[in-house]
Copies of this chain bind each other. A is one copy, B any other.
């Protein structure tokens, strides 16, 4: 894993969202980047990542892009790629980035499955006593019992002191864009981003639609490609 940066902001807050459950992490960071007008300042890179180039609005989207919003001093890690098997390596890269920039905080956005159909509760994890109050003011409950997997799990095991994890309940039947909107609402309260909420839900839905379209195309192509290759090489 390599980190490539064209700019090195000082003491930023890092926000990170991996596709994970319901693509909520990706939808949320995508929205933030657009809404805040954050610009790409680098990427995390490895040939262990799947060689898949996503095209979105006629531009190539990096599997693991690093963006910067100068106004709020936010570094946003936007992950489009599944990273199964690379969790430890990737968590090491994020910690390295955090050390390099002397980040004040790493905020992880993550969805968790919920059995209650109507519920969309949010939970937080922090090991810093003084932050608990402000997270609860934002409407989150402490996560009391749970298993956290993936890059988030790896980060919590390795660097828990600097990490604030926000978990939002999500449902397969329910639109994930709603979970993304909800988590941005909380992030807005916590960071004072002053997000204009009117167009947010609509935008989130549109992006979710676009993402789903990309994925469907990718899947169809993958399936047909696989069949052809099998035909071809026996």
Residues of A within 8 A of B (CB): 19-23, 47, 50-60, 62-63, 81-82, 84, 87-88, 91, 112-113, 115, 125, 127, 142-154, 156-157, 160, 172, 210, 213-215, 217-225, 227-229, 231-234
**A155 CB to closest chain B CB, in angstroms?**
8
Residues of B within 8 A of A145 (CB): 55-57, 210, 213-214, 217
Most central of A81, A147, A217, A233 by chain B CB within 10 Å? A147
Closest to A152 in B: B53
| Residues A147 and B19 in contact, CB atoms below 8 Å apart | no
In the complex, A113→B218 CA distance in Å? 9
Most central of A50, A57, A160 by chain B CB within 10 Å? A50
Partner of A52, one of B62, B81, B112, B233: B233
Residues of B within 8 A of A233 (CB): 50, 52, 81-82, 218
